Chains A and B, each alone.
Chain A
Amino acid sequence: MTDDRRTASGIPVKGHYGPDDVPLSAREALAAGPGRTPFLRGAYEGMYRTKPWRIFQLSGFGNPADERERLLFLLRQGEGGIIMEHDRNTADHLYNVDHPEVVARREDVGLTGAVIIGVRDYETILEGIPIQDIYTHPGGAVVQHAPFALACFWTVAERRGIDLHRLAGTGQSDFFLTYVGCITKQQIPPRAGLRLNGDITEFCLDHLPRWVPVSIAGYNGADSGLSAPDELATVFATAVEYLDALAERGRHEPQELSHKVGGVNFRVGMDFFEDIAKLRAARKMWAELLERRYGIRDEKARQLRIHVVTAGSALTYQQPFNNIARGTIMALASVLGGVQSLGVACYDEALSIPSEHAHQMSVRIQQILQHETGIDAVADPLGGSYYLEALTSELEARAWESFDEIEQQGGFIEALDSGWLHRRAARRQSEQWDEVESNSRLIVGVNCHEIDETPFEIDGFQGTTDAWDQAMARLADVRSSRDGAAARRALHELERVCRSEENIMVPMMQAVDADVTLGEIGDVFRDVWGDWEPPIRP
């Protein structure tokens, strides 16, 4: 090893740190304590003592009944909420199962999440799940999919007689997944996506006070290659786009909106201290950004709440059980950084969709941390460490530089549309992989300590094989049994509102209630907004 040691994002690291390495601004932020601006030490005063972090895993596959079974399994294991995964083949692109693109890959359907045609499938999945009592992410990670997913979930609640005011949960509508990390076949342009996210946010302000309408997921930028400072910068550059666009509509002041936008997602990877520092820096940056840019001084309005997903890209195909150790280390960093909820990527992630056992392990890792280690007793237990404070301050400084670069590009959407962000992510991704190939970064099982793995092989989860056939049958059933005239009226109304400045969530709720299907909504969106032309087509 050379003396030149750096963090994953390239910050030089010394052999030891002392009091002189902690800047004055960090000392002031430290003194404020947890639950007080600038929230360096935590979003809440009591942190895990008063509110343990929520165990919150992604899950879903196959038919709606398969997804329900897995969700119930996870709730029985001790999950604190549910995240409903949708079939990528249909949901991401807003295609019905009879779309030619889907038919060409029909065996893939249902592999990555349940196939959800419409509200009836939501009712099947949620049967027996007490949605009024748990925290739910009902899907809609991809921007154009979110209004449909949220409307389906909320409609199920209404049909059960649950007041929307009671529902707690989160949307996603994530620009990083949609336009950076997982570019879809067809997608509405980012400006149209911004409008949809604005509509969801305003709808939640009116009807769902306990709901996080959109959740900016830095994870998907970071797992595509963005460094820790870039992840921080891009998350807040996105937040600023949301706030500015909403403020321009004139219905709400930034102060009313900032709390709604302040439920975000970060990726925690294997650079233990850098990622702890990142979560701490994030809270401080958000509090300062809101005051500086919008003059918001209210404490609660500046409180950033963080969900972390541990890095799937850090998990190896080789020797997959090693990923249980990696998941534990990343979960520990997340908890020490201060999270409100956490999902641990499953140990078989590089091979397949999670098996039941891999899912259970991700829950157990978190329960072991919660019950056996005592780390939940003290908020920000590493706060005041010379090294961590120096690193937090340095990351913050670099993230502001990156934020300014994005502003110079014309803001987040411009940086996205021009491909600037993609190029930046791709370049670092190549550099990171080059480090592995040249053995300057070691990954156990990949470029060191390799073994013959046959005795420890796992199969990977195989899921169900009838999801496409079943979904075709359900689609035919919906088409023949629904009130066709009502569905057509609802679609026309949706299209009219898409072309107006009214909130699309109102006709979207009516449309899903009239059994309008996913693909029909996609057709309306494509007619109205056309397709985004991605700057890269990998």
Chain B
Amino acid sequence: MSRVIIAKTGLDGHWRGTLLVSRALRDAGFEVIMLGMARGADIVSAAVDEDADLVGLNVGGRVEVVERILDDLAVAAPGVAVFAGGVVPPWVRRRLEARGVEVYPPGSKLADIVAAARRLTRRSPSTASEPDETPQDRDE
């Protein structure tokens, strides 16, 4: 069973989105670990300790905070895929997508999010065969 960590990057506790997404992923057979409002360091260590296949970031703040988490994850847990959702204006969405992070803004279908989770977890370290599809490489 693939493991997904769902975390909120900011200190804004609105939970509608994370709960809906977490439930949909659980219903689809994923094991979901909800970290709530977590610091970058906590997200990174959870990804390592829990041997996560995927990290879902609920973005409620600035892109710089998200980018710091992505940088730290790339170093500490390079095989773990990341996707994001939340209040993400188009320019932030493009910036995250440019480094390989799929973004699901408000109104995204849960079916699409689940499909993305399935696709992204197929690329976990043990099964990844095409290096050009890993998030770090897409950055270039």
Number of B residues, CB within 8 Å of A:
37
Closest approach, in angstroms, between the C-beta of B12 and any C-beta of chain A?
5
* B37 contacts across to A, CB distance below 8 A: 185
Interface-central residue, B12, B91, B105, by most chain A CB under 10 Å = B12
Q: Which of A182, A437, A446 contacts B110 (CB 8 A)?
A: A437
Query: Which of A119-127, A233-241, A326-334, A425-433 is near enough to bind chain B?
Result: A425-433
Instruction: Decide if B20 touches A93 in the complex (CB within 8 Å).
Output: no
Across the two chains, which residue of chain B brings its CB closest to A181?
B14
Q: B12 near A112 (CB under 8 angstroms)?
A: yes
Which of B13, B110, B111 is within 8 Å of A183, CB to CB? B13
Residues of B within 8 A of A185 (CB): 11, 13, 37
Q: Mark B1-33, 1 if CB is under 8 A from A, else 0.
A: 000000011111111101110110000000000
What 1/0 mask marks residues of chain A from 96 to 115 whose CB sits below 8 Å from any chain B CB? 00001110110110011000
Chain B residues near A352 (CB-CB < 8 A): 87, 89
**Given the known A-B contacts A104-B40, A105-B11, A459-B90, are A224 and B65 also in contact in the complex, defined by CB atoms under 8 Å?**
no
Assess whether A457 is in contact with B11, with CB atoms less than 8 Å apart: no
The interface residues of chain B lying within 8 Å CB-to-CB of A88 are 10-12
Residues of A with C-beta under 8 A to B78: none
- Whether A104 contacts B20 by the Cβ 8 Å rule is no
* Contact between chains at A225 and B16 (CB < 8 Å): yes
> For residue B42, which residue of chain A has the nearest CB?
A104
Main secondary structure of the interface of A (DSSP, over half): loop
Q: List A contacts of B106 (CB < 8 A).
A: 316-317, 350
Q: Which of B38-91 contact A (CB under 8 A)?
A: 39-41, 60-62, 64-65, 87-91
Contact in complex: B39, A104 (CB < 8 Å): yes
Q: Are A93 and B90 also in contact (CB < 8 A) when A104-B40, A446-B107 are?
A: no
Which residue from B14, B65, B92 sits with its C-beta under 8 Å from A182?
A: B14
Interface SS, B side: mixed
Min Cβ gap A424→B in Å is: 13
Interface string of B88-125 (1 = CB under 8 A from A): 11111000000000000111011100000000000000
Q: Say yes or no: is A318 at the interface (Cβ < 8 Å to chain B).
A: yes
Residue of A nearest to B34 (CB): A538
Residues on A with beta carbons closer than 8 Å to the beta carbon of B34: 537-538
Q: What is the interface of chain B, defined by CB distance below 8 A to chain A? A: 8-16, 18-20, 22-23, 34, 36-37, 39-41, 60-62, 64-65, 87-92, 105-107, 109-111
Known: A181-B15, A351-B88, A538-B36. 14 other contacts (CB 8 A): A88-B10, A107-B62, A111-B61, A112-B12, A185-B13, A185-B37, A317-B107, A318-B107, A350-B106, A350-B107, A429-B20, A459-B91, A537-B36, A538-B19
What are 10 of the A-B contact pairs (CB < 8 Å)? Answer: A88-B11, A182-B13, A185-B11, A429-B16, A437-B111, A458-B89, A459-B90, A536-B19, A537-B36, A538-B22
